A and B are shown apart, each in its own frame.
Chain A
Amino acid sequence: GQQVMQIPQYQHVQEGEDFTTYCNSSTTLSNIQWYKQRPGGHPVFLIQLVKSGEVKKQKRLTFQFGEAKKNSSLHITATQTTDVGTYFCAGPNSGGSNYKLTFGKGTLLTVNP
């Protein structure tokens, strides 16, 4: 079946440092979504990428979708303590419907103030 792999599993940074998490799918994706889960909280949707090579920015967050639509990345510039949490990527299962998503295992980001 479809697999979505995320690295690294954990990342600890000093406040102000940059952070990147990478997502790789075993199959070509029609789109990819990113979610953030704060400690003790629930996943919250951040963004969806659809087009090959797409780049989207949300303030200090930059999201990229690979040309082959099999990989994606999330980059945070100058991390802040509010960025702490687990970041998940997710892609639709075969068939393309987003109501049936396969999630990566997530990257837990901790930030030292």
Chain B
Amino acid sequence: NAGVTQTPKFQVLKTGQSMTLQCAQDMNHEYMSWYRQDPGMGLRLIHYSVGAGITDQGEVPNGYNVSRSTTEDFPLRLLSAAPSQTSVYFCASSYSSGGASGETQYFGPGTRLLVL
């Protein structure tokens, strides 16, 4: 299994440009999430999905859209990039094991985005 894959690894955008960060997992996990990581801020949840066709907002959703048409894929769209979206983006997946001893998250390698 490849686990969680993300493309591209690096990207430079100009303000106002749009782009899609790709995320795919081959573990048949129900849950997928997008986080952004900024220096000193830890990991902040952008959007998440509990299954195909179901998405919801996390802590910092503004400026980002997501969709989940298949179990495997969970792309993150930046509609009009801004310098404040310069960050490292991580996609993660997990599965439901039920009960309090629940799901651990498997992270992809990340996409480093610079918006000029």
Q: Contact residues of A with B, CB < 8 Å?
A: 1, 6, 9, 30-31, 33, 35, 41-45, 48, 50, 88, 90, 92, 96-106
Contacts and interface: CB of A to CB of B under 8 A. Distances in A.
6 contacts: A41-B109, A43-B107, A50-B100, A98-B102, A99-B50, A103-B43
Contacts of B58: 100
Interface in B41-67: 41-45, 48, 50, 58-59
A99 B94 contact: yes
Interface of B: 30-31, 33, 35, 40-45, 48, 50, 58-59, 90, 94, 96, 100-110
B6 to A, nearest CB: 9
Q: Is the interface of A mostly helix, strand, loop or mixed?
A: loop
A100 B45 contact: yes
A100 B57 CA distance: 10
Contacts of A97: 102-103
A24 to B, nearest CB: 14
Nearest to A105: B42
A30 B107 contact: no
Contacts of B102: 30-31, 48, 92, 96-98
A33 B43 CA distance: 14
A30 B1 CA distance: 30
A105 to B, nearest CB: 4
Contacts of A33: 104-105
Contact of B105 (A9, A45, A50, A96): A45
Given A45-B105, A50-B101, A99 B40 contact: no
Contacts of B45: 100-102
Given A43-B43, A88-B43, A96-B100, A101 B105 contact: yes
A98 B42 contact: no
